[in-house]
Amino acid sequence: MVERPGLIAPEIAERYDVSTHTVTKTWTRHPAWPAPAGKRGRYNEYDAAAIDTFVRTHIERQAVTLEPERLYTAQQLEDAGIGIKAGTIRADLTRDRWPEPDDTEHGVNRWKGQTVMTAMAGRRGYRRSTEG
């Protein structure tokens, strides 16, 4: 088998455990997406190192560090840069995809930093494959 330095959309999708649709319809439309290095079949081919850099810079979620016992509102979490918007937190809460608040005093949902860090560790991130 010939080792290629470039990757096409299905290979990128497999490498980062996302759908080909995500690669072709979302990632390639990002302003920082690298220019094609060529063409293979019906797909553009991209430099593998450039794709790795793009994913590391724009897609992978960084570990969240918050004060473990402090209470945060959804907006404060967004402002703290956890990578999720306050509206997404509220929507995910109603869909049982976000933990129940640790405090609801005065009708305001607030979560302890530790609760959020645990929830974020379990959320899907686009991690690089460790396989070959």
| pLDDT single digits (tens) 48-68 | 999 999 998 888 777 778 999
Q: State the amino acid at position 1 in one-letter form.
A: M
14-47 pLDDT per residue, tens: 998 889 999 999 999 999 999 999 999 999 999 9
The tokens for 90 are 């509220």
What is the token pair recorded at 96?
Answer: 């049982």
Q: Distance between alpha carbon 81 and the CA centroid of its chain, in Å?
A: 13
- State the pTM of this model: 0.56
